[in-house]
């Protein structure tokens, strides 16, 4: 039997579990929630299958008894929600389930994208039953996530071909949010950003992916993805180190350490400069005169001999 005119049921499995009858929330216990969720996700099923899925640690006879009690309670609390046909149990065919709508969008994505498929963008954060950790739930969570990931990536490519580059970036970004290491989605994002003329955004997306891929997997991006970036990813030729203190004259070669000073920088060549270090070798230094303070004025109110910029030896 079906709903028998008892009202219209709506079941939410994305973001949270909720059952509504004609807009009013129907409260059922956690055990009954899991029974309803199984039937919504897996469809009409044999009683023995449902019992083994929900009570895997129990003997079959005990699991079937637990299932019988749960079915009885759901029938009392939400009359018309279940359809019982001997060994088969399922939800009434007119029950509206949000998961089914998402699956329909994913299926539509494989045959061509229209406005309905773009609604996937509004569901990129819609996780299936978050906080549920049973093995069968985790499997379904992963399957739905992979389906949405592929659909969003395909959507991004389709939007690029249709000339909707902004929409393509949005779809690709949604896919990358789901899986940062999904290179097909990164390629779509980089391609769309380049078509928009956003070279910096394309380069940032590529470098972020390349860094994460290398740190987690120890491999570089594919040649195809690297080729999209091309000259944008070439290292820039380093500019010579300049010093405002010296009137922007080049500093000595091989300078490694820099220290901030007034209106510029002081620099020292590599090597030990610690006072009292008997092994210290003499090193050339450039900076403020030792007799000046950090503002370039004479220390103690005096006059800095020789000007504020000098060469001196530290030993």
Instruction: Read off the pTM.
Output: 0.68
pLDDT of residue 110: 58
- Those residues whose C-beta lies under 8 Å from the C-beta of residue 289, and which sit 6 or more positions away, are 304, 305, 306, 307, 308, 309, 310
**CB-CB contact of 154 with 125 (8 Å):** no
pLDDT, one tens digit for every residue, the chain (315 residues): 445 556 899 999 999 999 999 999 999 999 999 999 999 999 999 999 999 999 999 999 999 999 999 999 999 999 999 999 999 999 999 999 999 988 887 777 655 556 555 666 666 777 899 999 999 999 999 999 998 898 889 888 988 988 889 989 998 999 999 999 999 999 999 999 999 999 999 999 999 999 999 999 999 999 999 999 887 766 655 544 444 444 444 444 444 444 444 444 444 444 444 444 444 444 444 444 444 444 444 444 444 334 434 444 433
Long-range contacts of 302-307 (CB under 8 A, 24+ apart): none
> What is the reported pLDDT for 134?
94
Q: Measured over all CA atoms, what is the biggest interatomic distance in the chain, rounded to whole angstroms? A: 105
| Environment class of 273 (CB within 10 Å of its CB; exposed 0-12, middle 13-18, buried 19+) | middle
Write down all domains in the chain, each with its CATH number in brackets. Answer: 9-94 (1.10.10.10), 98-233 (1.25.40.10), 242-314 (no CATH)
Quickly count helices (H) and strands (E) in the chain. Answer: 10, 13
Report residue 293 as tokens.
């303070």
Question: Residues 184, 185, 188, 192: what is their CA dihedral angle, to the nearest 10 degrees?
Answer: -160
């Amino acid at each position: 039997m079906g709903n028998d005119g008892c009202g219209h049921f709506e079941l939410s499995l994305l973001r949270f579990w909720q059952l509504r009858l004609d807009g009013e929330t129907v409260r059922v216990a956690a055990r009954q929630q899991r029974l309803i969720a199984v039937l919504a996700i897996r469809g009409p099923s044999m009683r023995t299958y449902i019992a083994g899925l929900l009570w895997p640690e129990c003997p079959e006879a005990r699991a079937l008894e637990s299932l019988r009690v749960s079915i009885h309670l759901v029938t009392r609390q939400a009359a018309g929600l279940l359809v019982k046909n001997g060994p088969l149990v399922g939800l009434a065919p007119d029950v509206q389930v949000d998961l089914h709508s998402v699956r329909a969008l994913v299926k539509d994505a494989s045959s061509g994208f229209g406005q309905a498929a773009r609604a996937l963008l509004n569901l990129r954060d819609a996780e299936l039953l978050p906080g549920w950790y049973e093995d069968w739930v985790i499997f379904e969570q992963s399957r739905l996530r992979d389906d949405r990931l592929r659909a969003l990536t395909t959507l991004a490519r389709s939007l690029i071909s249709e000339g909707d580059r902004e929409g393509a970036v949005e779809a690709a970004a949604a896919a990358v949010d789901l899986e940062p290491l999904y290179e097909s989605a990164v390629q779509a994002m980089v391609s769309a950003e380049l078509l928009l003329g956003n070279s910096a955004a394309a380069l940032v997306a590529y470098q972020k992916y390349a860094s994460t891929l290398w740190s987690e997997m120890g491999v570089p991006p594919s040649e195809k993805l690297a080729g999209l970036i091309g000259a944008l990813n070439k290292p820039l030729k380093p500019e010579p180190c300049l010093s405002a203190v010296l009137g922007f004259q080049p500093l000595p070669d091989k300078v490694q350490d820099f220290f901030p000073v007034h209106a510029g920088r002081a620099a020292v060549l590599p090597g030990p400069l610690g006072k009292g270090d008997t092994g210290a070798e003499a090193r050339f230094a450039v900076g403020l005169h030792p007799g000046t303070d950090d503002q370039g004025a004479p220390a103690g109110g005096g006059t800095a001999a020789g000007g504020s910029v000098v060469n001196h030896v530290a030993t």
